[in-house]
Chain A
C-alpha cells in the first residue's frame, strides 16, 4: 500500500514527552518498549546496579553514579532508555542530555537487533566511553568498544 509513507509524522522530543506508556524514539520513529521486560531481565539489572554502586562507593569516586534506566536524549528526534548507566556529572533535567561514561544494555529478543546495531552506532558516535551488552541466555557480558 505504501500509504503511510507520505503521511507518517516525524516525531520529536516535544511529542515524545506527552506520550503515555514506555517509548523510545529513533530518528522520529516511535519504538514501543511495552510490555515490561521479563523478571529475569529485571533481576540481572538489579544485581548489576548493586555491584556497580558498591564498586563506585568503594573507589571513593564522588562524581559518578549508577542509574537504573533513564531517558537519554541524543537529539530532538532520538531518545533512548538504556537499561543501566554510569553518569559522571550532575543531571539537571528530567532526562540525560550528555553522553554517560557507561551504558549497559541487557539483550532481549525484541531489542537485540537494535542493541547490537543502531544503538551501538549512536553510543559510539556520541562518545559513550564504555558500552556493554549482557546476554542472559549465554551468560556473557561483552564490551562493544
Chain B
C-alpha cells in the first residue's frame, strides 16, 4: 500500500525535541538509535574524551570536547554524535554550526548509515574529521572530510 508524503509526516527539530527515547532525525525521518550504549563504549568514550581534553588544554583555548550532543544540521536533520570537538561557543541548547571533530561508535545495525548518509551530511557541513570507533576490532577509522 505505497504511502504518499501526506501520510508520513516530515518532522522538524521542533518535533524532535518533544520525542522521548533516543532518536535522530534525518531529512524529516525519525531514526531510532540503539538503546543505551554498552559499557565498553562508555569506557572508550570516557577514555577518548580524557585524551582529547588533555591535548586541547595544552594547545587550544578555543575548542572543547562534548559528549554527546544534539547537532542540528538543519530544520529537518538533527543527529547525536557520540563525541564531538567544537571550536567556538555553543550558545543554544544544541549545536547548530559546523564542528571540527566528530566521533561515532560503530555498531552493526547503524554502520551503513553512519558511513554513508552521515559522511555526506558532515561533508556538506564542513566537519573537518569524522572518526568511527570499532570497539570489537579495536580500530579507529579516521576520515578527513573534504
Contact = CB atoms under 8 A, between A and B. Distances in A.
B8 A7 contact: no
Contact of B32 (A7, A9, A27, A114): A9
B47 interface: no
Given A9-B31, A21-B20, A32-B15, A3 B7 contact: no
Contacts of A114: 7
B21 A7 contact: no
B20 A118 contact: no
Interface string B6-26: 111101000100111110001
A94 interface: no
A42 interface: no
Interface string B106-134: 00000011001100110000000000000
18 contacts: A3-B26, A3-B27, A6-B116, A6-B117, A7-B26, A9-B31, A9-B32, A18-B35, A19-B21, A21-B19, A21-B20, A26-B7, A29-B3, A29-B8, A114-B7, A117-B6, A118-B3, A121-B1
Interface of A: 1-4, 6-9, 11, 15, 18-22, 26-27, 29-32, 34-35, 110, 113-114, 117-118, 121
